[in-house]
């Protein structure tokens, strides 16, 4: 992305970006990972928080942010239809604002909720609820692996 596209996106409230380069910074960021804007200094190298600080500290024991070239990023936007008509899905906000343990507890709670009510909620198809269970289980695994979840990669 160029500087003009970047400024337009952040002026619209965008803060999350997808890494488009195969690997950045000695491999601590990979293509498809999501980073969050820390601050914009007006250059082509703004500062970004990178995900999963705890896991990365094993091999990269310093701060949880870095400068990234705009050319290696694109805006993180909703690319599929979803019942949440927002730039960021609530599940992303939860992961970004909770500790890994809190987030994993939230996801486990949703798995239990959907298992317990399967077939009991009027108008809800069992298959649809089973797919919700699968999606939450996928997110739990990804969180335990230290990854940032992407709710756009779920099966409907």
- With a cut of 50, say whether residue 129 has pLDDT above it: yes
Cβ-contact 126, 119 below 8 angstroms: yes
3-state secondary structure 57-75: CCCCCCCCEEECCHHHEEE
Nearest residue to 48 (alpha-carbon basis) of 23, 27, 29, 22: 29
Lowest-pLDDT range of 32-46, 67-81, 141-155? 67-81
Tell me, what's the pLDDT at 80? Answer: 46
Contacts of 144 (CB under 8 A, 6+ apart): 104
- For the entire predicted model, the pTM comes to 0.49
Q: What is the largest CA-CA distance in the chain?
A: 55
Given the candidates 2.60.120, 1.10.3470, 2.30.30, 2.40.170, the CATH classification of the domain at 3-75 is: 2.30.30
For the sheet containing 47-49, what is the strand order?
65-67, 47-49, 34-39, 16-19, 73-75
Q: In terms of C-beta distances under 8 Å and separation of at least 24 residues, what long-range contacts does 98-104 make, across chains too?
A: 100/52, 100/54, 100/143, 100/146, 103/143, 104/140, 104/143, 104/144
Q: Half-sphere exposure of 115 toward its Cβ, with a 13 Å CA cutoff?
A: 10
pLDDT digits (tens, 9 = 90+) for 56-92: 555 555 567 788 899 999 998 754 444 555 556 788 8
Query: pLDDT grade, residue 53 (50/70/90)?
Result: low
Tell me, what's the pLDDT at 81? Answer: 43
Consecutive H or E run containing 47:
strand 47-49
Q: How far apart are CA 70 and CA 156, in angstroms?
A: 32
Per-domain residue ranges of the chain: 3-75, 90-153
């Amino acid at each position: 992305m160029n500087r003009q596209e970047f400024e337009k996106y952040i002026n619209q409230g965008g803060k999350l970006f997808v890494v488009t380069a195969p690997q950045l910074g000695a491999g601590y960021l990979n293509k498809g990972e999501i980073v969050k804007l820390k601050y914009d200094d007006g250059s082509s190298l703004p500062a970004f928080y990178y995900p999963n600080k705890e896991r990365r500290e094993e091999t990269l024991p310093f701060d949880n942010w870095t400068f990234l070239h705009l050319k290696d990023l694109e805006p993180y936007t909703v690319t599929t239809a979803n019942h949440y008509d927002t730039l960021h899905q609530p599940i992303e906000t939860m992961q970004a604002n909770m500790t890994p343990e809190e987030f994993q507890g939230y996801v486990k709670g949703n798995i239990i909720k959907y298992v317990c009510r399967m077939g009991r909620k009027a108008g809800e198809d069992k298959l649809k609820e089973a797919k919700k269970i699968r999606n939450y289980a996928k997110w739990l695994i990804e969180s335990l692996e230290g990854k940032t979840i992407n709710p756009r990669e779920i099966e409907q």
